[in-house]
Structure 1
């Protein structure tokens, strides 16, 4: 069943009054049997649609029928359009057509005050194509393959039954059953390379609750306390929850948070550069200093 096809069918009848099943079948590239099945579904949903035989016959809506937009408030109409516009960022199929038709039905200007783009600044077009690629694999139950880089910097080849896309803490993740490691896994999409959708199908498995998946990511964590200079306020408020932050009298900030262990943590802390004034626990502070010495030696080998 195609909800967007049903909506467009009603929309066409509102404008054209009467169309034959053959005309609708040709427009939607489906069989006439599918069109008659759509009519039955719409009738069962309370839409006064019927078909008539003979000269001038076809499929019509009952005279006087109008889509009662007053059932939705102006704010609710705006909310629907904004939600649909957000889906265009993930290249959801047919959204632009549905968005245009609803805008005309609601008599709303398509000029937009919101635009959603999940890709990083300056990213290539190929990165923007990941969403429709992964969506196709998930909806068609197709196994995907890719190279993956974990937080330790290790590279591995993966074969995965994709289940869903997850947006968490400013990043996109793919959940699914990893055939390589034989278990449910979460993969950060930015670390997935050479993604390919295979012709191999799979039977969907029971969904893994997000809390369980999150526990698997946070299983090996360390509590870290950072002191960040006043000039680093933008990083503090961009990246940490209010309850993790203490604003010191000298203008600096103390942040206490749980982080997953691994090379990723070292790289993340080094990204603060001169904004970072202290790190605890002590063994992590020493490790970061050792990394800084290694960087200094590489940049100044003489």
Structure 2
């Protein structure tokens, strides 16, 4: 039984007042027996659908029936519409149709007051296709293969039973059972390339190992202390945990945190330009100095 079809039947009855089982069957391309099962389901849910025989008869709702007054409070209506608006970000099939019809039934013309888009600014078509491929693989229980770069930039080939997509801290993650290493793993989606659907199905398994706590594959953490001037203030609370940040009287910030080691870290620190100072460890300072010397040599005029 399709929930969206039940909502649409109610929508049609509210809009047309009277219709027949035959008309509904033709509209949905199902049998009249299926329509009558749907009507029974609606009646069991407390929606007063009744049938009249003879000329001008058919299926109708009781006069003055309003869905929002019969089943859902004002708060519940808003919660449903907000949830559906959020779900449109995943481009879930037919969700916009259901949202439009529910908005009409709830008599809420301003259901588009919120828009959710998880894609980064400037996302290209290939990135959106990647998301849709993963979504379809999860829904249809398809095994997938791809190349993956971990936080240290090391590439590996993976065969994965995808379980769910998770959005956390400005990033999308794929969680699933990695057949390559026989363990549950979390993969950052923007590090996944070359996704292929194998065509092989698997049986979805539910496990506590797929928790909301995002833990990527192990990488070495180092303790660092940074000082960021007021020029870089706009990035501080976007990119660091507030518990690791201490504001200074001159408008700068002291940051003490643990962070994965790797080339990405050096480039990240350099992205702050003159607004950042590495306090500790000294080894990190030395690596940054070497990187800066290389950059200077790369941009020196050719003699």
- What is the TM-score when the length of structure 2 is the normalising length? 0.86
Question: 1:24 deviation in Å?
Answer: 2.3
Structure 1's unaligned 5+ residue stretches are: none
Determine helix, strand or coil for the equivalent of 2:122: coil
Map of 1:1-302 to 2, 5 A cutoff?
1-50=1-50, 58-69=58-69, 72=72, 74=74, 76-110=76-110, 112-211=112-211, 214-215=214-215, 217=217, 220-300=220-300
Which SS does the other structure have where 1:84 is aligned?
A: helix
Q: 2 CA distance for matches of 1:26 and 1:267? A: 61
Structure 1 residues 14 and 136: CA distance shift in structure 2, 3 A: same
Question: Following TM superposition, by how much is the alpha carbon of 1:151 offset from its aligned partner in structure 2, in angstroms?
Answer: 1.6
Tell me how far apart the structure 2 counterparts of residues 32 and 127 of structure 1 sit (CA, whole Å): 43
Once the two structures are TM-superposed, the CA of residue 132 in structure 1 deviates from its matched residue by 3.1
Give the number of aligned pairs. 302
8 Å CA contact 1:218, 1:260 repeated in 2: no
- CA 1:229/1:180 → structure 2, altered by over 3 Å: closer, same or farther? same
Deviation at 1:161, TM superposition (A): 0.9
Q: 1:164 to 1:49 in 2, by over 3 A?
A: same
Whole-angstrom distance in 1 between the partners of 2:73 and 2:40: 29
Distance 1:33 1:252, change over 3 A: same
Match of 1:109, SS? coil
**Structure 1 residue 288: Cα displacement:** 2.4
Aligned-pair Cα RMSD in Å: 2.8
Please say if residues 184 and 208 of structure 1, whose CA atoms lie closer than 8 Å, have aligned partners that are also in contact. no
Alpha-carbon distance in structure 1 between the residues aligned to 2:218 and 2:179 = 22
Shift of 1:149: 1.7
Matched residues in 1 for 2:156 and 2:224: separation?
Answer: 29
Shifted more, 268-277 versus 20-29: the winner is: 20-29
Q: Secondary structure, in 3 states, of the residue corresponding to 1:257? A: strand
C-alpha distance in 2, partners of 1:279/1:205? 47
Structure 2: gaps of 5 or more residues: none
Q: Return the alpha-carbon distance in structure 1 between the equivalents of residues 83 and 213 of structure 2.
A: 27
- Answer whether contact 1:81 1:103 (CA < 8 A) is retained: yes
Distance 2:42 2:212 in 1: 40
